[in-house]
């Protein structure tokens, strides 16, 4: 107890600590309060929203908006479709990122510098929307599920992160495995991937959030409403001013789609991806502290 007291007295709280704490609390409130307000609006009555009586607590508590959404088959189908897309795209993207970054850590790879240069160039220069549309049209990918999966299955930025992480793994581990007769594929599966859990978890969250929140590709390349991801469905709801028109277009059978239902729709589209983070938090902590302590 005396030792703990000495440690605390040796590190007094400074004005800088107080300032940083206030700044962190302010940033937390900036992130949380809009979600709290949105939740309150989704649980409030329509009259309270019209009168601007809702702030952080619901007024006229009711669950009609959530009941409407849960009873609507089109919305639920879009939610499950987006979840399926997110899982498939994340797994495919992680696979592509790994197999593209792994060979670049080998010094004996011929043309490695040229490959790296070409990869980096693609980060700054792209074909543009129209050429991309014409390419996808020529490949007969428009208005199909593949147009939402293949074009964005690899991020060069994430691949560079993966490559840098693999560079940080001691080469001696790979060399010892090669001496024992392991080939490149076995080295990847037995050594690099088990040690790459933190970066894989981080990139998985990047890819999952990107796909879950993506709607521009579906907006430009998809006309079949059965292939609409949840964000595009939400985009159509929020950009339709007439509530009855929204109910007709989006398949809601309950009349009077108003601010309450829009807020509930945003909550339904946001909360599922937020639930993923706690499962990956320990890997973020591991990745942040990796190499910080040496024994």
Give me the pLDDT at residue 270, please: 80
Asked if residue 254 lies in contact with residue 104, where contact means CB atoms within 8 angstroms, the answer is: no
> Quick one: CA dihedral 181, 185, 188, 189, positive or negative?
negative
**Cα–Cα nearest to 154, from 205, 94, 104, 210:** 94
Model confidence over 46-86: pLDDT tens digits? 777 777 777 888 887 878 778 877 787 878 888 889 999 99
SS3 213: coil
């939402």: which residue's tokens? Answer: 148
The residue ranges of the chain whose pLDDT is under 50 are 1, 7-8, 241-257, 288-295
Give me the pLDDT at residue 47, please: 74
Token duo for residue 17: 């600590």
Beta strands in 60-158 (DSSP E): none
Asked if residue 205 lies in contact with residue 270, where contact means CB atoms within 8 angstroms, the answer is: no
Taking the C-alpha atoms of residue 20 and residue 11, their distance in angstroms, rounded to an integer, is 16
pTM for the full predicted model: 0.77
Cβ-proximal residues to 79 (8 Å cutoff; 6+ apart), any chain: 230, 268, 269, 272
Asked if residue 11 lies in contact with residue 22, where contact means CB atoms within 8 angstroms, the answer is: no
Ordered by where they begin, the domains of the chain are 1-62 (no CATH), 63-289 (1.10.3720.10)
Give me the pLDDT at residue 37, please: 87
Model confidence over 242-251: pLDDT tens digits? 444 444 444 4
């Amino acid at each position: 107890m005396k030792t703990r007291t000495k440690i605390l007295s040796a590190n007094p709280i400074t004005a800088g600590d107080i300032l940083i704490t206030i700044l962190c609390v302010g940033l937390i409130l900036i992130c949380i309060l809009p979600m709290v307000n949105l939740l309150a609006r989704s649980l409030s009555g329509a009259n309270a929203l019209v009168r601007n009586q809702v702030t952080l607590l619901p007024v006229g508590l009711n669950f009609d908006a959530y009941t409407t959404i849960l009873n609507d088959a089109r919305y639920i189908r879009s939610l499950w479709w987006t979840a399926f897309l997110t899982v498939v795209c994340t797994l495919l993207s992680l696979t592509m990122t790994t197999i593209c970054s792994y060979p670049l850590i080998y010094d004996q790879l011929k043309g490695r510098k040229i490959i790296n240069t070409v990869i980096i160039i693609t980060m700054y220069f792209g074909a543009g929307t129209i050429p991309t549309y014409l390419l996808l049209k020529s490949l007969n990918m428009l208005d199909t599920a593949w147009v939402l999966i293949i074009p964005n299955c690899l991020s060069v930025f994430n691949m560079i992160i993966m490559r840098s992480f693999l560079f940080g793994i001691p080469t001696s581990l790979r060399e010892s495995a090669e001496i024992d007769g392991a080939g490149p594929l076995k080295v990847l599966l037995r050594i690099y991937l088990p040690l790459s859990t933190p970066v894989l978890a981080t990139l998985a969250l990047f890819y999952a959030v990107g796909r879950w929140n993506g709607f521009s590709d579906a907006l430009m390349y998809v006309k079949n409403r059965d292939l609409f991801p949840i964000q595009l469905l939400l985009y159509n709801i929020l950009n339709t001013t007439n509530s009855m028109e929204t109910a007709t277009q989006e398949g809601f059978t309950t009349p009077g789609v108003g601010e309450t239902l829009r807020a509930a729709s945003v909550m339904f589209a946001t909360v599922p991806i937020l639930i993923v983070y706690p499962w990956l938090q320990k890997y973020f902590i591991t990745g942040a502290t990796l190499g910080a302590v040496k024994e």
